[in-house]
Structure formats: structure tokens, C-alpha cells
Chains A and B, each alone.
Chain A
Amino acid sequence: MKEEIIIAGFGGQGVLSMGKILAYSGVMQDMEVSWMPAYGPEMRGGTANVTVILSEDRISSPILHEYDTAIILNQQSMDKFENDVKPGGTLIYDGNGITRHPERTDINIYRVDATDEAARMHAVKTFNMIVLGGYLEVKPIVKMENVVAGLKKSLPERHHHLIPMNEKAITRGGEVIKEVSLVK
């Protein structure tokens, strides 16, 4: 099993920490993982993205040109990464602020309106965990217990009281994600 993922959005959306929690969940499940952020000038007040790979075997390149799954959280990232999803792969996006919806017909497309849901839950900061929950509903590659363990490892201890709220957000993400179109 190998899953190559790009998570892309605005700086401040929690793109990098969502990737880190996913990667740590993989560690807890005894998988090989890599987490490679774009740390360049684009990150300083612009878009942020991170490539996460979870695999049962040794990982070769941490840098990729095509992905099994793209998790897209703003329009710039849609423009940049829609075409880099492998045929038959998966694209998950938050519709908030999207002016051009994905157009490909050879990939599975899901929508998780995490921005709206986070506002409804009065927990704007759990936005990225709602997205993660949506992703894990579609691709249950790590067990929930390992995600919680990954959360504990990623968050400094002073934030551990926030874990139940994040768990709730992950569960909610799984409930609100919906299919847009699936490859037959």
C-alpha cells in the first residue's frame, strides 16, 4: 500500500499541520512516511502546500509530479494541482472560494465544505481536521486510534485538551463529505 498526497491551500489554513498529523498517524501505524513542505517565498503570505507519502515500503522520492490524492483548499491550488492527480486518483476540495470547479472526468472527485462546517461548529480552527476526516472517510488508510495517537504526538502537551474537539471535527468531516463524480 502506498498513498501519495498533496495538500494545498492558503497559509494559515492548517495545511502543514494537517499533513503532519496524517504523517504521524502513519508512524503510529508502523508505516513509512514523508512530509515535504513548500517552504519557499510562496509560503510567506500566500499559498502553502505539503506532499505527504504513507507507504508500507521504503519511500523513494519525497518530491512528486503526480499524486494519488490531491486535497485542494483554494482556487490557486485547484489551478496548480488538478492536472497532477493520477488518472483514477482522487481529488477532494472545499467549495468555499472556488470559482472554477474541477473539470476532469478520469478522477474521483469529492467535496467537503469544511469552511462552512467549521463555522457552524463554532470551531473555525478545526477546519483542517474536518478536511482530514473527509479524506479518511474516502481513503481509510490509517485507523482512527492511530490518528488520535498522531494528534497527541503532533500537538504540544499544553494543547492536548483540544484533542476531543479535533476528534469531533474529524468525525464530522467523514459525515459531510460528498461525492461529486466518480470514475466508473
Chain B
Amino acid sequence: MRELKLMKGNEAIAEAAIRAGVDGYFGYPITPQSEVMETLMAEQPWKTTGMVVLQAESEIASINMVYGGAGCGKRVMTSSSSPGMSLMQEGITYLAGAELPCVVVNVVRGGPGLGTIQPAQSDYFQTVKGGGHGDYKLITLAPASVQEMADFVEDAFDLAFKYRNPVMILSDGVIGQMMEKVELKEFKPRWTMEHIEENYPWATTGKKKDRAKNIITSVQLEASVQEAFNHKLQAKYKAVEENEVLFEEVMCDDAEYLIVAYGSSARICQKSVEIAREKGIKVGMLRPITLYPFPTQPIQKYAEKVKGMLSVEMSAGQMVEDVRLAVNGKVPVEHFGRFGGSVHSPGEVVEALEQKLIGG
């Protein structure tokens, strides 16, 4: 029986986490993502599924609680918004360095600094280029609807445990705060200890007599050992890049121009494509669903077909660099976006397309 609900993106994250059998959520409130924890607290899943929900004393504490839970093989997560996410960066690179699976949700707001509470997409660099130190990568999913906010929670945990790597759900104030129809999945039970021990033998579940002790750490002081470990990480990231790229194409078949946009910008640009098409402009849109791994090859392919590309994001121009790397100078790639908490309208995107690419 289909259960349709009208809910905010943030609420959908919380509901999906309970239904996916997540073991723990640790967080600290910040607009525009506070409804994630508010919903969890209202639902009280510790009484039903046994899921732990805890408001920590800070974002730094939250991400380190995630480290602890993940080290035990538990499915744990946190969420925050931009300034809080900056505080979590140390924890995230430690999680990546210790090869721990977890899910982190960033409902992005305008920055830099304390910035504003309104939507932005200016944490792209922080997310996909390494907000913390060292050669690590965060698998990054960018939902563009409330339904995807719900669906990506379980997808993110699957990827996290498949690759023993933290996974980011990079959302923003638009998707977090808007309400849409959502179909929620069936309740799944939390993993048993037997399941964890059998499938994730690295987890610190308590030493048995028949195996060596498991150590969760990100420190290897011996350079040669650290280098070998880095090679192992790089091999893992290569596998991620080969196997996990997700993207969506909208009206691309006959496109002479291509808009590249993710998350809420992709929703706005879909309307821009409709408006432009009514004016006779043949434009399509490619929406990266995974930001890391980035859909480099598909964009490369379109560089052979279109006259130019417009990267649209609520930032001063971040993803545009990855689009340009993919295109490698074959066609002009321009950036357009409002930022600092302002959101571009579908009409503004069409104007930018006309001025920057078609008229230019």
C-alpha cells in the first residue's frame, strides 16, 4: 500500500532514517536543517526501532560520536548546515582516514562565516575537494526533491558500507525547507550484531579468541605504511569513480546548449529549459546526482555536441571548474548563479543563457 505524505525535505531525511533501520543520529541544531533532529525527537524511534537520537553539545561532538558508532559497525549519521559542517571537517577526514562508513547531511546555507540562514550551494568545494586535510574523497549525493531526500538516506548507507567511506548528502535550504509528496519505504529492522560481525569483520564488536584485535585508527607514522595506505584509498576512489556515477538528462537529445545544475538549481533550471524551449532555444540540462564521483565522461560527450554550456549553481562559481575540466576547452563554459542566500529564478537563468552564451 502506497503511503503518500506531504513533508519537508528535512523531515523526509529523519523519517527515512528511522525506516532504513539506522542505529544512531547525533546532531546539533542549526537553521535550515533543524527539522531533521526535531522530527527524530518527535518520532522517538528509541521506543520503536531502538535507534539512538542524541543532541550533542556541539557539531564537533556529534561527528566524533558518529566516529565511535561507525567504528562499531553501526549505521550512524549526523546532519548540519554550513557553519556546523565546517566544524565537522576534522572528524570527516578522520572518518575517511579510518575508513569508516557513515552518512553526513549538509543542508547548505549562505556563507562565508556565519553567513545567512537562506539557501546556497557554496559548500561544493568543501564537500568534493576535501574540506578536511589529506587525500580523501567524500562520496556525495545531491538530492533535487523531497523524495530523493528520503531515498538517498538508504542509498548513502549502502555506498558507505560498500566502500567503507563517509557519504555526504549535499542538500540546501530550498530542498530542506520545501514540502512535496513523498512515498516512504517500508520499515526495515536494524542490523543484528551477528549481521555486523559476519559482513563487516573490521568492526570493533569485541575481540573473539579466533581473531586478531580490530583497531580503528587513522594514524600511520611510518611514511611507507602511510603511502601504501594512501594507494589503497586511491584504488578505492578509482572504483567509486568507475562504478557509482549518477546523473539525469533532461531534453538533451537535440540540445545545442547544455545547462549543468544539481540539487535545487537543477529544479529551477528545468523550468528555465521549458521557458527557453518555448522561445525556440534548443537547450537541455544535465543534472549530476553524484557530485563525487562527478559525471565527467557524460559532460565530455556533450562537449562534442553542443555549442556551449552554462553551469548554474547558488555560488560564485564552484562546480563550473569541474565542468570546465570535463570539457577541456572544447566549447565555452560559463557560470551563472545568485549566491549569499539569494536564489536565482527560472527567468534569470534564461536571461543568463541568452546573454552569456547565445548572444555572446
Distance in angstroms from A161 CB to nearest chain B CB is 22
Contact status B177-A34, CB under 8 Å: no
Cβ of A23 within 8 Å of any chain B Cβ, yes or no, is yes
C-alpha spacing A168/B31, complex, angstroms: 37
Q: Closest residue of chain B to A36, judged by CB?
A: B178
A34 B179 Cβ-Cβ under 8 A? yes
Q: Is the CB of B6 within 8 A of A41?
A: no
Taking the closest CB of chain A, its distance from the CB of B57, in whole angstroms, is: 25
Give the CA-CA distance A60 to B341 in the complex, in Å. Answer: 21
**Cα(A39)–Cα(B177), bound, Å:** 8
Which residue of the partner chain, among B4, B173, B274, B348, contacts A65 with CB atoms under 8 Å?
Answer: B348
- Identify which of residues 49-65 in chain A touch chain B, using a CB-to-CB cut-off of 8 Å: 59-65
- Contacting pair B347 A36 (CB below 8 A): no
B240-282 vs A: 1/0 string, CB under 8 Å? 0000000000000000000000001001111111100000000
Q: What 1/0 mask marks residues of chain A from 67 to 95 whose CB sits below 8 Å from any chain B CB?
A: 00000000000000000000000000000
Residues of B near A65 (CB, < 8 A) are: 345-348
Cα A40 to Cα B324 with chains together (Å): 33
Interface residues of A in 1-40 (CB under 8 A from B): 20, 23-24, 27, 32-37, 39-40
Tell me if B268 and A61 are in contact (CB < 8 A). Answer: yes
Please determine whether A64 and B345 come into contact, CB atoms closer than 8 angstroms: yes
B333-355 near A? 1/0 per residue, CB < 8 Å: 00000000101011110000000
Q: Does B299 sit within 8 A of A, measured CB to CB?
A: no
| A66 nearest CB neighbor, chain B only | B347
* A24, A33, A37: the one within 8 Å of B177 (CB): A37
CB closest chain-A residue, reference B345: A65
Interface residues of A, dominant DSSP: mixed
Q: Does B117 contact A (CB under 8 A)?
A: yes
Residues in B with CB closer than 8 Å to A23 are: 6, 179
Asked whether, in the complex, the Cβ of B268 is within 8 Å of the Cβ of A63, the reply is: yes
In the complex, A152 has a CB within 8 A of chain B: no
Q: Measured between alpha carbons, how far is A60 from B116 in the docked complex, in Å?
A: 26
Chain B CB within 10 A, most for which of A61, A62, A65: A61
CA distance A173 to B332 in the complex (A): 55
B181 at the interface (CB under 8 A from A): yes
In the complex, are the beta carbons of B6 and A33 less than 8 A apart?
A: yes
Task: Give the contacting residue for A35; candidates B4, B178, B341, B347; CB below 8 A.
Answer: B178
Assembly CA distance A39 to B118 (angstroms):
7
In the complex, B174 has a CB within 8 A of chain A? yes
- Of B178, B179, B273, B343, most buried by chain A (CB within 10 Å of CB) is B179
What chain A residues lie within 8 Å of B178 (beta carbons)? 34-37, 62
**Contact at A40–B343, with CB atoms within 8 Å?**
no
Residues of B within 8 A of A20 (CB): 6, 179
The answer, yes or no, to whether B32 is at the interface (CB within 8 Å) is yes
In the complex, which range does the number of interface residues on chain A fall in?
A: 20 to 34
Nearest CB in chain A: distance from B218 CB, A: 38
B278 to chain A, nearest CB (A): 13
Question: Measured between C-beta atoms, what is the minimum distance from A150 to chain B in Å?
Answer: 9
Closest to A41 in B: B117
Which chain A residue has the least Cβ–Cβ distance from B4? A27
- Interface residue B180 (Cβ < 8 Å from any Cβ of A): yes
> A36–B177 Cα gap in the complex (Å)?
7
Beta-carbon contact of B267 and A33 below 8 Å: no
Whether the pair A61, B267 counts as a contact (CB closer than 8 A) is yes
Residue of B nearest to A38 (CB): B118
Identity of the chain A residue whose Cβ is nearest the Cβ of B267 in the assembled complex = A61
Q: Can you list, as one digit per residue, whether each of B267-302 has a CB less than 8 Å from chain A (1) or not (0)?
A: 111111110000000000000000000000000000
Q: Which residues of A contact B341 (CB under 8 A)?
A: 40
Report chain A residues within 8 Å CB of B174. Answer: 36, 62-63
Asked whether A39 lies within 8 Å of B267 as measured between CB atoms, the reply is no
**B residues neighboring A (CB under 8 Å):** 4, 6, 31-32, 116-118, 173-174, 177-181, 264, 267-274, 341, 343, 345-348
| Residues on A facing B (Cβ under 8 Å) | 20, 23-24, 27, 32-37, 39-41, 59-66, 153
Q: A35-B178, A41-B117, A63-B346 are in contact. List 15 more A-B contacts (CB 8 A).
A: A24-B6, A34-B179, A36-B179, A37-B178, A39-B117, A39-B173, A40-B116, A40-B118, A60-B268, A60-B270, A60-B274, A62-B174, A63-B343, A64-B345, A65-B348
